[in-house]
C-alpha cells in the first residue's frame, strides 16, 4: 500500500517522442525510502481511479522522484500528468511492487524493456552506475521500440556502455528500415545474442503484458533462466519447484 504522499512538480519536459519526464519534489512526507524498480499509485483527481507509474530515478536522490509517462490523450492518468505545470501538486502512494533490484547477490543481469517500460529499468541502471556496480558483472540492456526517436536516453546508455566494458546496450527497432542497429522482435534479438546457459542470471522486464510473457518464455525455455530469477510486476512465470 505504501505511504500516502503529496508532491510538487518541479520539472515537466518532453524527453523523447510521446514521453514526458516529470520531476516531483516530495512535500509530505519530505522523504520516502524506496528500492530501484518500485512504482507509485497515482490518485487521478475527480475519479476513484489509480494509475501506476514506475519511479524512473535512483533511490539515492533523496526527497524527489522522476516519472516517465507515455502520452495517451484519452487515458485518465496520462492526460492528467501531461496537464500538470511546474508548481502544481499531486497525490500518490509509494513505494509499491516486489520486482525491485535484488542486492543479495552479484548475478549477471539482463534488462528488457519495451516502450515506457524503460522507466522501470532506468532507475536500476542509474542506481547501479552511482553505486559503482556496473563493473562487477555482465549487464545486457535490450530496449525495444518501433522507431529510433521513441528510444529512451540512448546517448546516455551508449556512453555508459563505452565507459564500462561489461555493460551492453542493445536497442532494437521493429518498424524502422533505415537503421544500422538490430531490427525485429526483441525476443529474436535476445535469442541471437545471449549465451545458451544463463542459469546464474537475473532478469528484469517491463513493457506490454504480451511482450513480458514472451520474454519470460523465451529465456526460460531456450536460455535456462530460473523462473524464480525473472522479475516483473506484470507477469510471474510458474515455478516447477512447488
Ligand X SMILES: Cc1cc2nc3c(=O)[nH]c(=O)nc-3n(C[C@H](O)[C@H](O)[C@H](O)COP(=O)(O)OP(=O)(O)OC[C@H]3O[C@@H](n4cnc5c(N)ncnc54)[C@H](O)[C@@H]3O)c2cc1C
**Closer CB to ligand X, residue 37 or residue 171?**
37
Question: Does residue 12 bind ligand X (CB under 6 A)?
Answer: no
Question: Does residue 74 bind ligand X (CB under 6 A)?
Answer: yes
Q: Which of 7, 35, 53, 153 is in the footprint of ligand X by CB under 6 A?
A: 53
Closest approach, Cβ 27 to ligand X, in A, equals 21
**Closer CB to ligand X, residue 68 or residue 124?**
68
SS (H, E, C) the chain: CCEEEEEEEEEEEEEECCEEEEEEEEEECCCCCCCCCCEEEEECCCCCCEEEEECCCCCCCCCEEEEEEECCCCCHHHHHHHHCCCCCEEEEEEEECCCCCCCCCCCEEEEEEEHHHHHHHHHHHHHHHHCCCCCCCCEEEEEEECCHHHCCCHHHHHHHHHHCCCEEEEEEECCCCCCCCEECCHHHHHHHHCCCCCCCEEEEEECCHHHHHHHHHHHHHHHCCCHHHEECCCCCCCCCCC
**Closest residue (Cβ) to ligand X?**
75
**Closer CB to ligand X, residue 74 or residue 83?**
74
**Closer CB to ligand X, residue 122 or residue 223?**
122
Question: Does residue 2 bind ligand X (CB under 6 A)?
Answer: no
Question: Does residue 85 bind ligand X (CB under 6 A)?
Answer: no
* Residues in 101-160 that interact with ligand X by CB under 6 A: 116, 119
Interface positions with ligand X (CB under 6 A): 39, 51-54, 68-70, 72, 74-78, 116, 119, 233
Amino acid at each position: 500500500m505504501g505511504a500516502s504522499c503529496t508532491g510538487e512538480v518541479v520539472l515537466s519536459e518532453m524527453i523523447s517522442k510521446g514521453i514526458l519526464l516529470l520531476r516531483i519534489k516530495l512535500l509530505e512526507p519530505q522523504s520516502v525510502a524506496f528500492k530501484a524498480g518500485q512504482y507509485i499509485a497515482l490518485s487521478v483527481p475527480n475519479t476513484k481511479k489509480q494509475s501506476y507509474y514506475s519511479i524512473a530515478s535512483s533511490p539515492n536522490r533523496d526527497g524527489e522522484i522522476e516519472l516517465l509517462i507515455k502520452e495517451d490523450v484519452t487515458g485518465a492518468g496520462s492526460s492528467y500528468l501531461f496537464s500538470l505545470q511546474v508548481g502544481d501538486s499531486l497525490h500518490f502512494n509509494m513505494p509499491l511492487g516486489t520486482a525491485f533490484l535484488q542486492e543479495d547477490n552479484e548475478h549477471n543481469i539482463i534488462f528488457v524493456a519495451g516502450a515506457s517500460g524503460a522507466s522501470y529499468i532506468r532507475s536500476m541502471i542509474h542506481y547501479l552506475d552511482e553505486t559503482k556496480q556496473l563493473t562487477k558483472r555482465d549487464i545486457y540492456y535490450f530496449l525495444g521500440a518501433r522507431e529510433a526517436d521513441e528510444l529512451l536516453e540512448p546517448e546516455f546508455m551508449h556512453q555508459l556502455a563505452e565507459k564500462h566494458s561489461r555493460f551492453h546496450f542493445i536497442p532494437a527497432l521493429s518498424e524502422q528500415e533505415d537503421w544500422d542497429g538490430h531490427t525485429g522482435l526483441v525476443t529474436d534479438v535476445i535469442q541471437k545474442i545471449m549465451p545458451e546457459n544463463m542459469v546464474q542470471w537475473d532478469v528484469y522486464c517491463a513493457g506490454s503484458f504480451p511482450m513480458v510473457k514472451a520474454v519470460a518464455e523465451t529465456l526460460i525455455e531456450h536460455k535456462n533462466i530460473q523462473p524464480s530469477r525473472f522479475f516483473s510486476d506484470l507477469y510471474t512465470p510458474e515455478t516447477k519447484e512447488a
